[in-house]
Structure 1
Amino acid sequence: MGDPGEPPEGVPEGGSGSDDEYRSVVFDESFVKAARITELSAVERLGGGAPRAVRHKLGLGLLASLPRQALTLLLLIVLAFGAAVYFGVTGPQHQAGGPAGSQLTSQLTALTPPAGTVPTVDPSSPFANLSAAAGYADGSAGFGLPAVRTSTTHFTPDQVSTAVDTVRRYLIASELSQAVLVQGETAPVRALVTPGEQAQFDLGTTAPSDDQHHSATGWMVRFDPMKEALASDTVKVAGSVVVRELDPATLELTADHTLIYALRPAGAAVTGPVSLYTVRREVRFDLDRTDIVNAQVRVVDVVQQAGPSACGAVQDEYLQPLAPGATGPAAGQPGTVDPGDRSHPAWQGCAVLGGPAG
């Protein structure tokens, strides 16, 4: 005869009817795993070393309730972040403000005087003999800048205008500023160079060398203040600045100018002998959008012809003009080069000076 508490049909298959009253307190696996305490195993109890029949689990808080896959993924993220931080700190450090490896390359061609001695000019009007047809103007008026509102495919007129103005200011600082020309200053030029090239600039001005990368005269026109003085505040300039896109992210500006300086020996009387010194500088600048915003340039290539100078003169720190009346080259020197003729490449060996200062 059945239990009076059982239903007439008997106990349902799969469990005792008396278990129903405990169904509300049955703990699933996740609840057990999340418990803060756990009962000691039989081995642990027999060992007798534990004063209590339970032990506390480590307090991992929410982590203890996470599925194993989630914990594994979290661990991988932490490891990846740690590796990124480590390699970011210990990896090679590139200089800011320009692509890694951005470096100026420069070349100087010395031009010797065409006749036996360096000619002199009238101190009161040193540029009187310049041809009016040669297009020389005073200072920056001779730069031949691009037309206003010039644009390219990927650069707006405002961006191009800013780039041109930055190059203009660099040319003034590096080719026309008296502080740079004859007073030994370099800061006005350095301020316009991107941070990525400033270490090279500093090495070129503090420890210049004739290696095509570390000559101070590659960055700027400068004369030794102990040897040379300006006989006129005016510098005659003729040439142009051309803009084009090197790529969609970079503007390339090329400045090709002939500059004529009136010089006298340092300490000489105002009425003393004066000679003209001619420098042709072809300078290529690259500017990306960051350079344009920061109003700085990357000076990439500089090719120069300068004279009258001796072919063997060391000109990595200062340009070395021959003094008025100094003796010219021996017979058999290379052919004549006119630095005012910008229709030919400037990259040549030593040559004889021809043209406006001849």
Structure 2
Amino acid sequence: MAGRGNPPEGTPDDASGGDDEYRDDYRSVVFDESFIKAARLQEFSARERMEDEEHAAVRNRAFTPPGDATDEEQNGTYVRGSITASRQGIVLVLLIVLAFGTAIYMGIRNPYQAPPEPPAEPMRNALLPLAPRDEVPGATPADLFQHSPAAQFRAGADGVTLPPVRRTRHFSESQVLSSLTAAKEYIVTSSLDPSVLSGNSVRDVRIMLDPVQHEQFDQSMDHPRNDGRHSATGWMVRFDPSKTALADAGIRVNGTMTVQEAGPDALEVVADHVFVYAVRATDEGEGQKAAKNSSLFTVRREVRFQVDREDLRRQQLSVLQVSMRAGPLPCSADMSGALAPLLAGEKAKDDGAAGTDPYARGRTSASLCGLLSTSSQPSPAAKKDD
């Protein structure tokens, strides 16, 4: 039988060295003590297997903590594995902390900024004065209305009617109704309210506007100018109280309102109305004589509104564009601050052909002017009935 130090088949015949030489040849396949101690599996002894036939052939070796191990074991696989695992854990934690710190630093230096909201579109307005061919007819307000195209118009806010209300793709029926109601309220206040018409009040109009338009509105009130964006008469109809007064509170109105989507988040409302005012000279006072010297002043006013979801919540709106044709008016007068109609018995001066230099730089001060049709004026029968 082979010895402990010899291979199972005995010492080879051609082995020229002794046991030491043989051990050197097989040293690479011999399990040394440190290898055995590092093994995680241990085979049960023959007695253990005989006592329990169902017992497994091997078992896991219990891990010996480094503190209880021998000096040799502390230098062995367990100690080295624990140190290696600890180092890897520390490195992993450091990497996580470094990544987290870098993310915070980059967030502070370069914080994410949401794209800025587009600036509010400013209100744009255009006023075309209409000059009469002849003398402005004068009579009592009732006679003037009766003999004019406004005879069948409704009086006051009753003439500002809402269209049938239907839901749209992105807005409910109630939201569409709210936008139309807000637009009607603006039209009534800015075109029919006596305090607004006389120039005594602007607050009631201002509070209905989206706050982003307040600055433009205030500039138009404080320093009106004929630049297409800062006319007070673009935001409201108002007369120069030193020259013109209402002769009758029953303003005649006729027109239409339409609504459609301007996108998934906004509605566009267009109000197109004709307003007919009975006016008189302020210095004539009141009474029957003053009433007989009344005249009609007609304004065709088209206002385009935008109402977004925030406006619906606050019951406000934005005025995008206002187009007005009004007469009888003189062509050369500046109407950006207040309207100064030609009154009964007055005629338009021949100032409609004011020269315009196309070579001049900048905005021209000359106004475009239209001719007020005779058919739009009260008929001469109004005077004959006096």
Q: CA RMSD in A?
A: 3.2
2:145 is paired with a residue of what secondary structure? coil
Matches within 5 A, 1:192-271: 192-271=208-287
The structure-2 alpha-carbon separation of the partners of 1:12 and 1:28, relative to structure 1 and needing over 3 Å to count, comes to closer
1:295-327 CA distance string (max 9 Å, x none): 111111111001111001101111121232222
Deviations 1:163-209 (A, max 9, x none): 00000110011101111110331111111111121111111111111
TM-score, with normalisation over the residues of structure 2? 0.68
- Candidates 87, 104, 108, aligned match of 2:123: 104
TM-superposed deviation, 1:151: 2.0
Task: Note if contact 1:121-1:276 (Cα within 8 Å) is conserved in structure 2.
Answer: no
Is it true that 1:353 corresponds to 2:372 in the alignment? yes
Equivalent position of 2:139 in the other structure: 121
CA distance 1:198–1:33, shift in 2 (3 Å): same
**Structure 2: runs of 5+ lacking an equivalent:** 1-30, 39-68, 355-366, 379-386
Distance 1:176 1:167 in 2: 14
Aligned partners of 2:300, 2:102: CA distance in 1, in Å? 61
Q: 1:270 to 1:68 in 2, by over 3 A?
A: same
Question: Which residue type is aligned with residue 243 of structure 1?
Answer: V
Pick the structure with greater CA Rg: 2
Q: Judging changes above 3 Å, is the alpha-carbon distance between structure 1 residues 208 and 29 closer, same or farther for their aligned structure 2 residues?
A: farther
Deviations 1:93-114, CA, capped at 9 Å, x for gaps: 86xxxx4141111100001123
Aligned partner of residue 324 in structure 2, secondary structure: strand
State the match for 1:163 in structure 2.
179
> Residues 183 and 153 of structure 1: is their aligned pair in 2 closer, same or farther, counting only changes over 3 Å?
same
Structure 1: state its 5+ residue gaps.
1-8, 35-63, 335-347
Tell me if structure 2 keeps the 8 A contact 1:260–1:279: yes
Output one character per residue of 1:212-259: Cα deviation in whole Å (capped at 9) or x when no partner: 111111111011222221111111101100111222222111111010
Please list the CA deviations of residues 58-104 of structure 1 after superposition, one character each: whole Å capped at 9, or x if unmatched. Answer: xxxxxx9972332232223223432455978xx9x86xxxx414111
Conserved 8 A contact 2:267-2:306: yes
Q: How many aligned positions are there?
A: 298
Match of 2:309 among 289, 294, 299: 289
Q: Equivalent pairs: percent with the same residue?
A: 31
1:142 paired with 2:173, answer no
Distance in 2, matches of 1:84 and 1:320, equals 57
The whole-number CA distance in structure 2 between the counterparts of 1:264 and 1:178 is: 14
Instruction: Answer yes or no: is 1:304 the counterpart of 2:321.
Output: no
* Structure 2 residue 340 is the aligned partner of structure 1 residue 320: yes
TM-score, normalising length: structure 1: 0.73
Residue 52 of structure 1: aligned partner = none
Displacement of 1:266 in angstroms is 1.9
Q: Which residue of 1 aligns with 2:105?
A: 79
